[in-house]
Amino acid sequence: MEPTMNAALLPPHPATPGADTALPLPPGVDRRRRTASKAQRAAWVAEACRRIETADTVPDLALLAAQAGMSPHHFHRAFKATVGLTPRAYAIAHRARRLRSALGETATITEAMYRAGFGSSSRLYEASDAMLGMPPSTWREGGRNTEIRFAVGQCSLGAIAVAQTTRGVCAILLGDDPEALVRELQDQFPLAHLLGGDAGFERTVAQVIGFVEAPRLGLDLPLDVRGTAFQQRVWQALRAIPPGETLTYAQIAERIGAPRAVRAVGQACAANRIAVAIPCHRVVRRDRDLSGYRWGVERKRALLEREAGARVG
């Protein structure tokens, strides 16, 4: 006979924050305690976010954990599970938002620097490349005068547009109409100088097209990847998926340590503008349905079939 567990003999449900990781509760035990614990944890994380957002510097993890009544380990895990970012990554992402906002609202870069919480111009310029993808003065002008070389060609999937900054390939767009792809580039980089590619750039485009036709060859070119901290984590996870394999949106969310952020993963995939090199086509729904794709489901199907065939071969 299976031993039975008397709920009256169970020890009290842990009151320690972050200790709500016990085995599944047996029938009859009040599950409202667990729900309350999760709600309380969410409230603590929300308060930690507020402290991070109002601090001039990134708060110490131990201090945030102590204020929430947790150990640093449990606080770090609870924060990442709730927000989708570590406390430090959240602080950096928030500072980047503050900086972008301040650059658009203040009269000088110096004023924006202090409003965003940077104590010196050297720290601002050290961080601006990762946060903005360009110097603060260039961002302040909306990317004005940034030179982007581009070219439009044809591949087996239709029209293809490739664009590159001095940092690397910043866009690979697919479509039916070459002119529409040029307009899309103009919309994405409205204040930049779009320059027709020279002979050297044409070789880059040929390399990209060769990669699109045979992704297993890889793309030995630097990428200029710009996005939020969360988007970059998703895109990094996508680039780790080998050709011929697929993952679900939920699996990507698990891989980046944000299992509840499935919808946000889908949004990050939709925001990707570097087709194939950041292989959002390798992400499918839980039922393995292809779902949506920025450049059309049929192109997604063609890419997956091509990669699966190359894997079998």
Q: Which residues form the catalytic set? A: 280
Q: Which two tokens stand for residue 178?
A: 């070459």
Q: Which two tokens stand for residue 77?
A: 């895990």
Residue with tokens 């990707």: 272
CA–CA distance, 37 with 23 (Å, rounded to integer):
15
Give bridge partners of residue 297 from the DSSP assignment. none
User: How many CB atoms sit inside 10 A of residue 107's CB?
Assistant: 7
CA–CA distance, 240 with 163 (Å, rounded to integer):
23
CA–CA distance, 169 with 27 (Å, rounded to integer):
56
Cα separations (Å) of 185 from 144, 173, 255, 295, 308? 14, 9, 31, 14, 31
- What residues contact residue 18 under an 8 Å CB cut-off, 6+ apart? 41, 70, 71, 74, 75, 77, 78
